Every structure is written in structure tokens, then in C-alpha cells.
Amino acid sequence: MKYIKLTAWGNKKTHMIPIKAIADLEFDDNYTIIRLSNGNVLNVIEDELTLSTMLDQLGVQIVSEFNLDIDELPF
């Protein structure tokens, strides 16, 4: 199982989160909100760039309209 190590926004405690448990990421100005598949929420200090880099190193591909290659779509 693959984990990312994150720091809680309020108390600065370290958390090891399995990437399979992440249901949603929401980026705010001062912190990131991570919603887990079990319904729990964790606010962390890591920003969008840091989290994207962590997930990229674990082989997670993040696709948005800005990096979508229209020529490679199957239709």
C-alpha cells in the first residue's frame, strides 16, 4: 500500500495517509482539506504543488482540462 506523510494544520502532528483512502482534495489559501473515504476530514499544511508532486512520485496521474491531450482521446 502507498502512503503520503502529511502535517496537520492545527497541531502540526504527522499523519501517514494511504492514497487509496483519499476521496477528495480541496485547496484553500492557508491549508488543504483532505476528505477520506471513511468520512473523516484532515486539514494539512501541504499545498497543491507539494501534494501533486507527492502523488506524481507514487505514480498517480492528475488530469485537468489544462493538461488534457485531445488528440489521444479514443473517440
CA angle 8, 9, 13 (to 5 degrees): 30
pLDDT at 75: 54
Per residue in 11-57, pLDDT (tens digit) is 999 999 999 999 999 999 999 999 999 999 999 999 999 999 999 99
Instruction: Look at the block and give the residue holding cell 502532528.
Output: 13
Every domain of the chain and the residues it spans: 3-68
Could you please state the CATH topology (level 3) that the domain comprising 3-68 is classified under.
Answer: OB fold (Dihydrolipoamide Acetyltransferase, E2P) (2.40.50)
pLDDT at 70: 64
pTM of the model: 0.81
Q: Which H or E run contains 57?
A: helix 48-57
